[in-house]
Structure 1
Amino acid sequence: MTLFWIVLATTVAGILSITAAASLSLTILSRMVDKMVSLSVGVLLATALLHSLPEAFTTPDVDIPSLFMVLFAGLLGFFILEKAALLRHSHHHEHDGHGHHHGHDAESAGRSGWVILLGDGLHNFADGILIAAAFLVDPQIGVLTAVAIALHEIPQEVGDFIVLLNAGFTKARALLYNLISSMMAVVGGVLGYFFLDRAESLIPYVIVLASSSFIYIAVSDLMPQMHRRPKLKESIEQLTLIILGVGIVLLISEISHLSHGH
């Protein structure tokens, strides 16, 4: 019965956070994706650096040098993944005898979409383990944890949607891939139920790996796009939206901690 509740909670939490994020991203925000890239930078960096990484590094009995090694390996790994996609892409286009077609920039940017989905999948997997662990302590704590996680995921999922739309994904594809990625929480929940001791010790490492993808995308892909609009007015707008993104994550973190009873 506990396993049933874990699967139900991880599925519902995933679908709720995606639906809420999609309704924001695909309606209001999709008309101004270029502006929202700045908001996305704030959300992704704040999620990684102010929420996820501190959580991973303050886990009892965790080996901190190993976590730094995973963070370094993650950043380098995502760089290699993107490089491989880039090489394949440029090889496909070489000697094609004409200038790049209209959608070329979106296709090249599509690489960042896959990196963010991979990172998001890992993040959801870790969330699933956390929900399973909470249910095994007490079903009521399990429900509260699932609600807190769903709530906390919304700004990050909005950030992901903006990255995907900016990377040239259609709205339908962005929604579909985000839903598939959110189902990694179910996998984490089931694994957590059967192998909790081993699965729980994995959580900090999975969270650090997921965080490295958020940092990588924000710094290597989104920030360079923002530099292409160097006017003072646009720069002030970008900085304001980054700060707003950070503020949203901090506010939601605070609310989810209160609902946890911390």
Structure 2
Amino acid sequence: MTLAYIVLATLAGGLLSVTIAAGLTVSLLSRLVPQLVSLSTGVLLGTALLSVLPEAFEGQSHPQPLFLTLLGGLLFFFFLEKVELYRHSHHHEGDGHDHHHHFDQEQAGRGGLSVLVGDSIHNFCDGALIAVAFLADTQLGWMTAIAIVAHEIPQEVGDYLVLLNAGFSRARALAYNALSGLAAVAGGVLGYFLIQPFQELLPYLMVVAASSFIYVAVADLIPQLQRRLPWRATLMQIVWLVVGLGVVGLLLLERGHAH
């Protein structure tokens, strides 16, 4: 049953993002991405700091190795991003960041390969993190999956817009997104079979999952929210961030009642 949950959860992010991208206009998608970024910031930070890390540290008499793992995880994801193997950018022409003309063509790269490869590796890692969470606890798995889905939607929508503005047809851009999303399923299934025999490593792997959430939120999402904006736009950023934290809080309450 755990494997079925992992497959279902890893499929959700890709399917939701492709469905949203297919059903909405480009102008509406461009307006939605900033709100989704704020929402996913709250969900990622709340899940990492209020759920995954406490679960990992529970019952650990020596927390220093876990803190060292957290530091190593942050550095690892920093390195992956430096070599462009862990893309999580939502930037595209028309997103309000004053990108130069042909920015999307540069982002897409030759034939969209950089978008596809970077997102596939990112999604594969996300799938493995979902597997880790489900192996530790089913409810923690769903919380982790929700956090990843919350981030995957603006990420995939942003990449879809990049591909469209780079000259791809709507069908081809959607196909690229769907193909990269399948990497999460592969990561989840492979993670399930590789990690299951080593239950004693789960606390460390959960810390790695939390470091991924924290890194994405702090290194990519929060800097996007720090731009000077009219007070109404700033207020909406805060509202959506609080909504993200509230979603995590409600899930934690539900999980507490279940236990």
1:53 corresponds to which residue?
53
Checking the alignment, whether the CA contact within 8 Å between 2:13 and 2:149 is kept in structure 1 is yes
Matched to 2:41, the amino acid is: V
Which amino acid counterpart does residue 132 of structure 2 have in structure 1?
A: A
Gaps in structure 2 of 5+ consecutive residues: 86-99, 164-172
Quote the residue 2:215 is aligned against: 216
- Displaced runs of 4 or more, over 6 A: none
State the Cα RMSD in Å: 3.5
Larger radius of gyration: 1
**Which of 7, 11, 22 is the equivalent residue of 1:11?**
7
Mapped to 2, the partners of 1:105 and 1:226 lie a distance apart of 23
Higher helix share: 1
SS at match of 1:103: helix
User: SS state of the match for residue 132, structure 2?
Assistant: helix
Partner residue of 1:178 out of 161, 181, 197:
181
Distance 1:45 1:105 in 2: 30
| Pair 212,7 (structure 1): closer, same or farther in 2 beyond 3 Å | closer
1:163 alignment partner, one of 149, 155, 159: 155
Which ranges in structure 1 are unaligned for 5 or more consecutive residues? 87-98, 132-144
Match of 2:168 in 1: none
**Which residue is equivalent to 1:80?**
79
Using the alignment, how far apart are the partners of 2:84 and 2:12 within structure 1?
A: 32
| Cα distance in 2, alignment partners of residues 188 and 73 from structure 1 | 20
**Pair 1:250-2:225 in alignment:** no
Task: Report sequence identity in percent.
Answer: 30
Q: 2:14 & 2:140 partners in 1: Cα distance?
A: 14
Pairs within 5 Å for 1:36-47: 36-47=36-47
- 2:13–2:152 CA contact under 8 A, matched in 1: no
The one-character-per-residue Cα deviations of 1:187-234 (angstroms, maximum 9, x if unpaired) are 2333355x2xxx211111111112212111111112222223432221
Q: 1:113 to 1:30 in 2, by over 3 A?
A: farther
Distance 2:223 2:42 in 1: 14
User: How many aligned positions are there?
Assistant: 225
**Residue of structure 2 in register with 1:130 after alignment:** 136
C-alpha spacing 1:249/1:119, structure 2 compared with 1 (3 Å)? farther
